[in-house]
Amino acid sequence: MNLVAAGLNHHTSTLELRERLYFSPEQLPGALLHLRKLLGGGGAVILSTCNRVEIYAHHSAPPEDVMGLIRRFLREWHSVPEEAFAEQMYVYTDQEAIGHLFRVACGLDSLVLGEAQVLGQVHDAYLTAQAEQTADKVVHALFQRAFAVAKEVRSNSGIGAGKVSIGSVAADLAVSIFSELKDKTVLVVGSGKMGELTLSRLVDRGVGRVLVTNRSADKMEEVAGRFGGEPVGFAELAEELHHADIIISSTAASEYVLTPQHFQQALRMRNQRPMFVIDIAVPRDIDPKVDELDSVHLYDVDDLSGVTQANIEERRKAVSYCMEVIDDAAERFWTWVQGLAAESTIVSMSHELHAIRERELAKTLANLPELNEKEREEVTHLSKRIVNAILQRPMTQLKREVAERDPHTVLHLVKRLFGLKEGP
């Protein structure tokens, strides 16, 4: 069995491409079932965020075949031709795939180094796969180990030091544009986690007024109440837009929520006073052409990655320690995975030797009719202990050999030596 991690992220692809390959939470269950059908077995998890689309798979097929099925899956599900994304994809196998997941879970591969939100996203992706029964034994163990490694790294290093989140970056930008926020109004469109985190940072900076709109009236009221804001009906968004100096948009819409026409109208009503717009959604909520308008400062998630964050150097100092922990954990987990290849052979060895023991024991007991029941039980237990003691060293060494050498060659030799049936 092989482990494969394949996908694309903010390092390798454009936001436009990630939008086309994005899986919404509502799509994930169906997508996982379709992927499992294509793979025909094994385990799989889909991790889809604003910064990455990744698939983790455990399968008996060669990695190149699994990769071909993953590309086919993305092509079929999103109706996007392979040539549009194949060159932007990366693929990791076996121990490298394990290490990649651990780096992602620890925030080392994030747009903002060390950010904690990605761990929750990894956890949600795993839970969805578990609910749809696409997480097999190895995938389950892999993600559980990733969570443990992330906890260890965050507890024992400075990778989470300082405020360098997307929300902090956006708040800094807002201050750089407006200087003071106490007389400014922020409008929150939608209720994404990152949008609320950004709003929280702006409130901390003293923004004067908060407006909240959402398609869900209950969610709108809840967020508005939590931040001391005012609810705005989603249908009235266009009419109320001109009140906002800062707009944070983070919906799950499949098409643009705000267009250049909306902002042109708002700017006229504002006498062209500047507007700072943060589009954190993937797919994007705001038509990129809005950025062409004078007095509108539009930032999406890729734009924010280019902003220098305070305290980032302190986090970089922790990377070396984090990588040591991750590399060691990945090596140990891969050794465990390789050891699984020997399990069926070990079981066969045990069955074979105990079958011989039982045959010989039956002959011996038949030749010793004078033994009472207690004595017969003692002889039986002795025979079991002898066979188990003989098996102990070969079983331990076999696990080591398959972890260090070609498992197929090692297992084939063992099966020939013990006269075991060939097979998977």
Amino acid identity, position 180: E
Q: Which residue has the tokens 């944070």?
A: 248
Query: What's residue 71's pLDDT?
Result: 97
The pLDDT tens digits for 192-251 are 777 888 888 889 889 999 999 998 899 899 989 999 999 999 999 999 999 999 999 988
| Percent with pLDDT over 90 in the chain | 62
Q: Which residue has the tokens 């800094």?
A: 172
Structural tokens at position 228: 């001391």
Does position 362 have pLDDT exceeding 50, yes or no? yes
Which among 50, 246, 301, 349 is annotated as catalytic?
Answer: 50
CB contact at 8 A, 414 and 349: yes
**Cis peptide leading into residue 283 (ω within 30°):** yes
Q: Which of 154, 108, 128 lies closest to 56 in space, CA to CA? A: 128
Average pLDDT rounded to a whole number, residues 311-321: 79
Q: Which of the 8 DSSP states describes residue 286?
A: B
CA distance 10 to 183: 35
Please report which confidence band the pLDDT of residue 404 belongs to, taking 50, 70 and 90 as the band edges. confident
Question: Is residue 50 flagged as an active site residue?
Answer: yes
Four-residue CA torsion sign, 106, 112, 117, 122: negative
The pLDDT tens digits for 130-169 are 999 999 999 999 999 999 999 999 889 888 766 566 777 7
Domains assigned to the chain:
2-161 (3.30.460.30), 166-305 (3.40.50.720), 341-418 (no CATH)
Please report which confidence band the pLDDT of residue 127 belongs to, taking 50, 70 and 90 as the band edges. very high
Q: Which helix (H) or strand (E) holds 299?
A: strand 296-300
Name, in order, each residue with C-beta under 8 angstroms of 31's C-beta and a sequence gap of 6 or more. 23, 46, 77
The pLDDT tens digits for 293-305 are 988 999 887 777 6
Question: Could you give the 3-state DSSP secondary structure of residue 56?
Answer: strand
258 φ/ψ angles, rounded to the nearest 5 degrees: -125, 135
What angle separates helix 407-418 from helix 373-404, to the nearest 10 degrees?
Answer: 150
CA distance 279 to 284: 6
